[in-house]
């Protein structure tokens, strides 16, 4: 795992938002919420949108976690 989204869930919990409002008020797709749940890759436009919704920094949405399984550079 390289990028993981546990900070997002903390940010969500500490906000006035919910997954319901993300989908129905902010038009974030259910597929994006599912990707966040499963730590799947998101594009930078989505990350930007989440930062705008929560008025937060990128580290409030995701974090880099080094892994022994990372591809060698």
Q: Walk along the chain (73 residues) and give the pLDDT tens digit of each residue.
A: 589 999 999 999 999 999 999 999 999 999 999 999 999 999 999 999 999 999 999 999 999 988 777 677 7
How many Å separate Cα 18 from the centre of its chain? 13
CB 50 within 8 A of CB 5: no
Rounded Cα distance between 51 and 66, Å, is 23
Domain range 3-64, its CATH number among 1.10.260, 2.40.50, 2.160.20, 3.30.300:
1.10.260
Residue spans per domain, the chain:
3-64
Q: What is the pTM of this model?
A: 0.87
């Amino acid at each position: 795992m390289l990028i993981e989204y546990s900070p997002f869930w903390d940010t969500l919990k500490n906000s006035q938002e919910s997954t319901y409002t993300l989908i129905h008020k902010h038009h974030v797709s259910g597929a994006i919420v599912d990707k966040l749940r499963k730590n799947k890759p998101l594009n930078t436009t989505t990350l930007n949108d989440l930062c705008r919704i929560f008025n937060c920094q990128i580290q409030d949405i995701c974090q880099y976690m080094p892994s022994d399984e990372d591809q060698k550079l």
